Structure 1
Amino acid sequence: MDAALHWQETPPGVDEYLALRAAAGLSPFAREAAEQGLAGTWHAVCVRQGERLVGMGRVVGDGGCFLQIIDIAVHPDLQRRGLGRAIMQRLSDAVRERAPASVFVSLLADPPGVRLYEQFGFRPSAPGSVGMFKRFAKDSGEPR
C-alpha cells in the first residue's frame, strides 16, 4: 500500500462521505440522511491521501447484540491494492476488541465484495435465513 496514506478512526465528513460513495459506485443518499447516519456510527475507519478521503468503512448497530458493517468504499484510483482488506481488518479488530463475544455481525455484500468478506469469515445466511431490505419513502403512500 501507498506510504502516503494515513488512517483515522473517526467518521468522515458528510460531503466527502457522499463524494466517495459516488466515486466508488455505491448508492446515493440525501445529505440529511448522511448527516443522521454518520452521527450513529459505532466505529469508523477513514483512509486519507493528504486531506482527500480515499477509503472508508463503518460499523453501526447497538454495540451489544447486533452490528452491521457498511460503507466499505475505496476510491477507484486506489482499488485492487489491498486497501479494502486493510479497512475490513481494522473494522474486524474493533469489533473483536469492543463488542461482546456473542455479538451478531452482518453485512450486505455486492458481488464484487463477496470474496473479500469471505476472507473474514462471513458466509451467506441462506438457506437458514434470508437477508431482506426495503427503502422507505415518506410520500410513497405505503402502509407503515
Structure 2
Amino acid sequence: MDYRLVDRLPTVEEFVAVTTAVGWADAYDRAAIPASLAASLHGVVAVEGDRVIGIGRLVGDGVIYHYLQDLAVVPERQRRGVGGAILSRLEEWIAGRASSRTFVGLFAAGESVSLYRRFGYAVHDEMPGMFRVGPYRPAAAD
C-alpha cells in the first residue's frame, strides 16, 4: 500500500466519505461539519492515489488542551499502520506547541483502544471523563 500523509484538514466531502465508511454517518449533523472542521487546530489526511483513506484532527486551545478527534481509516486500509502514522503526525504537531503540562485527551472504543495504548494513552481513574451529546440545551440543576 502506497500512501502519503498531508498536513491539512479533510474537505467536507472527504470527512463524510471516511466517517461514513467507518460507520459514523449518524454521529454528525452534516450542516455543522464545515464550521467544525474550520475550528480545528490541525488536521492530517492519508492519501492513496487521489483518494483520502484516513483522517485525523486536533481540537482544543492549542497550548494546554488538545483533543485527538475523528481519527479514522477506511475499513479496507485498517491494520496497515495508517492510523498510527496519522496519530504520530498529530503528536508531532502537538509537541511543537505544547506547554510543560499539556493535556491530550480522546475518546476511544472497541479495537481503537489498542492503538492509543501503544502510544501511551491510558484510562485514568483519578480523571474520569464525562460528556453530553446534543441537541444541546442548558440543563436545569436540581
TM-score under structure 2 length normalisation: 0.90
Q: Secondary structure of 2:111's partner?
A: helix
Letter in 2 for 1:89: S
Given that 1:18 and 1:28 are in contact with CA atoms closer than 8 Å, whether structure 2 keeps it comes out as no
* Structure 1 residues 97-136: aligned runs within 5 Å: 97-126=96-125, 128-136=126-134
Q: 1:21-49 deviations in whole A, cap 9, x for unaligned?
A: 01012353122221111001111110111
Q: Name the residue aligned to 1:17.
A: 15
- The residue identity in structure 2 corresponding to 1:131 is G
Structure 2 unaligned residues grouped into runs of 5+? none
1:78 partnered with 2:88: no
Structure-2 separation of matches of 1:109 and 1:56: 15
Q: 1:28 maps to what in 2? A: 27
Matches of 1:141 and 1:129, distance apart in 2:
24
Structure 1 unaligned blocks of 5 or more:
none
Is the counterpart of residue 6 in structure 1 residue 8 in structure 2? no
Deviation at 1:142, TM superposition (A): 5.4
RMSD: 1.8
Contact 1:10 1:44 survives alignment (8 Å): yes
* Letter paired with 1:8: V
Contact 1:22 1:28 in 2 (8 A): no
What is the aligned residue count? 140
- DSSP-derived class of the 1:63 partner: coil
Match of 2:90? 91
The separation in 1 between residues aligned to 2:112 and 2:121, in whole angstroms, is: 11
Q: Specify the code of the residue in structure 2 equivalent to 1:74.
A: V
Q: Helix, strand or coil: the match of 1:53?
A: strand
Are 1:44 and 1:57, in contact at CA under 8 Å, matched by a contact in 2?
Answer: yes
Percent of aligned positions that are identical: 34
Letter in 1 for 2:96: E
- Corresponding residue for 1:50? 49
Q: Distance in 2 between matches of 1:133 and 1:7?
A: 31
